[in-house]
């Protein structure tokens, strides 16, 4: 963990050295920022979609499990009635 934080600090220093001391971002940096924001937004939408799909699948699994439980109960009742 300490190594990871050290690498993070070195990465930040390297990034700061590359960008220089300018207070104003360049047009290229602004475009990169906008592109990254758009990518983040797209990924967040994908996450929401996948979470919805996951919830639907979990619901379907729960319904199938309930059906299986009913079938198992019916099977046991049938065995009890037939004496097997």
Q: Which helix (H) or strand (E) holds 37?
A: helix 27-82
b/e sequence 43-52, b meaning 16+ C-beta within 10 Å? eeeeeeeeee
- The pLDDT value recorded for residue 17 is 60
d(CA 45, CA 68): 35
- The pLDDT value recorded for residue 9 is 55
pLDDT in tens, 6-62: 655 565 666 666 656 668 889 999 999 999 999 999 999 999 999 999 999 999 999
Give the global pTM.
Answer: 0.56
d(CA 60, CA 27): 50
């Amino acid at each position: 963990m300490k190594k990871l934080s050290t690498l993070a600090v070195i990465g930040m220093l390297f990034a700061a050295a590359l960008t220089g001391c300018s207070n104003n971002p360049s047009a290229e940096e602004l475009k990169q920022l906008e592109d990254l924001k758009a990518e983040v937004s797209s990924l967040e939408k994908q996450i929401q979609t996948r979470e919805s799909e996951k919830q639907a699948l979990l619901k379907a699994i729960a319904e199938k499990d309930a059906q299986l439980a009913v079938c198992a109960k019916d099977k046991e009742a049938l065995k009890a009635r037939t004496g097997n």
